[in-house]
């Protein structure tokens, strides 16, 4: 077994103890330290105190739900990667969680192996590819090695997934990506997970880009592309 501290501490906030114990077991087997809390307030306090490398938050928690934990962390300027656990087909919860700054979600019942794979993929993306070139399109510049995004020199605050989505689009300006292609490239899983995830994150990135939001253009019926020629007054086309 790998040293449980090798890959950092993951905070798991889940009130169903058998699920929490299973997640702890699988994360520990893969080299993570794991701290578990069973209610929202204790989970928020642990996140602030322990500064984990990632948080796995159930949405339906006693006292304070997972989306509120995430909202408060983001309000503190804490952009630790967050994966939500949510009930099957509860799209409202999933979308709300992503809009509040979550990076990914897993629906119950889920495979513990898949959850561990999602955590590891998210942390790999957050680490960034060493030596990757700086990407610039119009007023937007991304430095993958420093995980820094700017608009006209002003730094943006992006989640790990938002950064990776913008970086992927800017890496091939003018190339139109379908939602399925973006899911596979940025999130690392297939389209059956739901392409609504892509639309929500694109909307979030556009909101943070402000006047430069039109660098991301919707191609109706297909997907999204990065296009410097469309940069100008902010305009947010509705996702298809």
Residue boundaries of the structural domains of the chain: 9-127, 135-230
- Of the candidates 228, 223, 112, 121, the residue with the CA atom closest to the CA atom of residue 170: 228
Could you tell me if 135 and 129 are in contact, meaning their C-beta atoms sit under 8 angstroms apart?
no
64-83 burial code (b ≥16 CB/10 A, e <16)? bbbbbbbbbbbeeeebbbbb
Enter the tokens of residue 20: 């929490």
Specify the CATH number of the domain 9-127: 3.40.50.2300
Residue-level pLDDT, tens digit, the chain, 240 residues: 334 445 688 999 999 999 999 999 999 999 898 999 999 999 999 999 988 989 999 999 999 999 999 999 999 988 899 999 988 666 667 677 778 888 888 888 889 999 999 898 888 777 665 556 788 999 999 988 788 999 999 999 998 889 989 998 998 888 999 888 888 778 766 544 567 888 989 999 999 999 999 999 999 988 999 986 655 443 344 444
What is residue 1's predicted lDDT score, i.e. its pLDDT?
Answer: 38
Contacts of 124 (CB under 8 A, 6+ apart): none
CA atoms in the 13 A half-sphere facing the CB of 105: 34
What is residue 90's predicted lDDT score, i.e. its pLDDT?
Answer: 66
What is residue 141's predicted lDDT score, i.e. its pLDDT?
Answer: 93
Contacts of 130 (CB under 8 A, 6+ apart): 145
Could you tell me if 213 and 198 are in contact, meaning their C-beta atoms sit under 8 angstroms apart?
no
Please state, in angstroms and as integers, the Cα–Cα distance from residue 71 to each residue in 42, 67, 86, 101, following that order.
Answer: 15, 6, 16, 7
Residue 77 backbone class (left: φ over 0; alpha: ψ -120 to 50; beta: rest): left
Please state, in angstroms and as integers, the Cα–Cα distance from residue 106 to each residue in 49, 56, 101, 153, following that order.
Answer: 25, 10, 15, 36
CA atoms in the 13 A half-sphere facing the CB of 63: 13
Chain centroid to CA 191: 16
What is residue 129's predicted lDDT score, i.e. its pLDDT?
Answer: 57
Q: Examine residue 109 and say whether the peptide bond preceding it is cis (omega within 30 degrees of 0).
A: yes
Q: At 42, which helix (H) or strand (E)?
A: helix 40-50
What is residue 232's predicted lDDT score, i.e. its pLDDT?
Answer: 47
The answer to whether domain 135-230 has CATH 1.10.1740.10 is no
Report angle CA 189, 14, 59 to the nearest 5 degrees: 65
CA atoms in the 13 A half-sphere facing the CB of 129: 9
């Amino acid at each position: 077994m790998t040293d449980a501290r090798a890959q950092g501490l993951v905070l798991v906030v889940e009130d169903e103890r058998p699920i929490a114990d299973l997640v702890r077991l699988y994360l520990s087997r893969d080299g993570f330290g794991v701290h578990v809390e069973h209610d929202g307030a204790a989970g928020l306090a642990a996140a602030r105190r322990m500064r984990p490398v990632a948080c796995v938050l159930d949405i339906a928690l006693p006292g304070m739900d997972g989306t509120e934990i995430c909202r408060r962390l983001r309000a503190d300027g804490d952009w630790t990667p967050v994966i939500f656990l949510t009930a099957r087909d509860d799209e409202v919860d999933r979308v709300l969680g992503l809009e509040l700054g979550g990076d990914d979600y897993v629906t119950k019942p889920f495979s513990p192996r898949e959850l561990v794979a999602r955590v590891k993929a998210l942390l790999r993306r957050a680490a960034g590819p060493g030596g990757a070139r700086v990407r610039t399109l119009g007023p937007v510049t991304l430095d993958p090695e420093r995980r820094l995004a700017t608009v006209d020199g002003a730094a943006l605050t992006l989640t790990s997934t938002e950064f990776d989505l913008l970086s992927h689009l800017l890496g091939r300006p003018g190339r139109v990506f379908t939602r399925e292609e973006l899911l596979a490239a940025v999130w690392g899983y297939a389209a059956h997970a739901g392409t609504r995830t892509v639309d929500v994150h694109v909307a979030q990135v556009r909101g943070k880009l402000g006047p430069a939001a039109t660098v991301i253009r919707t191609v109706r019926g297909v997907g999204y592309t990065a296009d410097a020629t469309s940069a100008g007054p902010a305009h947010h086309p509705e996702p298809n």
